[in-house]
Amino acid sequence: MNLSEVHHVYFIGIGGIGMSAIARYFIAQGKRVSGYDKTQTVLTEHLQAEGMNVHFEDEIALIPDDIDLVIYTPAIPKDHKGFHHLQQSDVPMMKRSEALGLISNDKRSIGIAGTHGKTTTSAMTTHVLKTGNIDVSAFLGGITADYKSNFLIGKSNVVVLEADEYDRSFLRLYPFIASISSMDPDHLDIYGDSSQMIEGFKKYAGQVRDKGFLIIKEGLLDKFSIQELGNLAKRGVSVLEYGEGNVQLRISHIRIDKGRYIFDYTGLGHDLKEIAVSMPGKHNVENACVAITVGLLNSVSENDIKKALSGFKGIQRRFERIIDRHDLVFIDDYAHHPSELRVAIDAARMLYPGKKLTGIFQPHLYSRTRDFVDGFAEELDKLDEILLMDIYPARELPMEGITSERIFERMKNPNKRLVTKDTLMEVLKDSRPEILMTLGAGDIDTFVPKIKEFFNK
């Protein structure tokens, strides 16, 4: 399809973080943009202010007559009236991932993949390239604190993409530079089992363009066969492992100084010393390693790389400090998988040793709760106090016997309490937290302003 011939694009699920980035791309190209989402949010208000026509009722009458392309989210409910109506029309329809592929596959694209860390790594990489005076475009899975958006439009042919494994979306992308930070099991409602998910990541790696680069975390190559690695080598793809071991991109001398991680990087003929990252957690040193490598592969200077990482402000809802006082720190984090909870809780423990750590967790999806119930219980037990909310269903219908109580019953932490959206604020009013964390990918973020207002009285 030739996107230059498209004049009016309609999005089903326009308020999603990935969908809205593509909607912003089309409005920046001078196209008309309309769309539906089930919930009005701060993000949809911004889209409307940018000139997009957004409606929140699933009514066929509200769909414009003159649209010539429909882009839809794979998370759309099966009973969506507008989707079924448009399927019967002559208007071309494509998933978000197809649109992203059409936009990016003729550019020098950089695909950032991995079960965890995609958004922060994508944003770090974008900031490194921008600081190095590369006028980059970027489609991100979060709102950056540096650019206040999930989308950047640039004049160069370099584009940074968050390569999402959900619904196998990343298999629509053919990046020149690809990274894979992790292949932990997730989205088993899509893949069936972890081995199929790993196959998806390996297929993504196989789509790196000829003479391109695969940047992959130490240890993950063990999942690849000799033949799969040989196929990459035949096409001139450079496979670069990163980590602390005997690898091509080596991180060393990691230490903490005044709440910042300091480390050295050796790779691609460069030896960078005393790199500072303000984002907490050792995982962000690894994320920075990817950003450094992409910067060097795009001829960004060592000084600009160090300057970018030192000043990087992060992503909304990625260990975002909402309140930072001597008597109370309130952190909001998107963690919705046991591995992400571990990283967020460990980072808080490292930064605030000896402090009482209270977490409010909202599980995301019935299927994920079912698949990782023991992992959730184990990680939440590391908190001093836990308030456990009801499951946020997102695209799913309820599953028999799958509730937050399943996690609650497996937890050994005596300081645990089940709460609902209706009771959360009342329970908080009786607490005296030292370090408070809201955790989850559902609508728990709608409580963040209320919690901030209450504790700032």
- Listed in order, the ranges of the chain carrying CATH 3.40.1190.10 are 105-311
- Listed in order, the ranges of the chain carrying CATH 3.90.190.20 are 320-455
Dist. CA 215–CA 178, nearest whole Å: 6
Whole-number pLDDT of residue 259: 72
Return the bridge partners of 320, or none.
Answer: 332
What six digits make up the tokens of 281? 């957690």
Residue 307: band (very low, low, confident or very high) from pLDDT cuts 50, 70, 90: very high
Lowest mean pLDDT among 59-68, 391-400, 418-427, 447-456: 391-400
Whole-number pLDDT of residue 186: 60
Residue 152: band (very low, low, confident or very high) from pLDDT cuts 50, 70, 90: very high
Q: What's the mean pLDDT when you consider all of the chain?
A: 92
- Listed in order, the ranges of the chain carrying CATH 3.40.50.720 are 3-95
Q: Domain 320-455 carries which CATH code?
A: 3.90.190.20
Is residue 63 within 8 A of residue 89, CB to CB? The reply is no
Whole-number pLDDT of residue 2: 83
Residue 199 has pLDDT above 70, yes or no: yes
Residue 187 has pLDDT above 60, yes or no: no
**CATH 3.30.470.20 given to domain 3-95:** no
Is residue 309 within 8 A of residue 341, CB to CB? The reply is no
Residue 31 has pLDDT above 90, yes or no: yes
Between residues 376 and 117, the one the model is more confident about: 376
Whole-number pLDDT of residue 189: 60
Q: Where are the alpha helices (DSSP H) in 312-371?
A: 338-351, 366-371
Q: Which fold has domain 105-311?
A: UDP-N-acetylmuramoyl-L-alanine:D-glutamate ligase (3.40.1190)
Is residue 245 within 8 A of residue 267, CB to CB? The reply is no
Is residue 189 within 8 A of residue 171, CB to CB? The reply is no
Whole-number pLDDT of residue 399: 93
Residue 283: band (very low, low, confident or very high) from pLDDT cuts 50, 70, 90: confident
344-371: average pLDDT: 93
CB count in 10 Å sphere of residue 323: 15
| pTM assigned to the model | 0.80
- Measured in residues, the chain has a length of 457
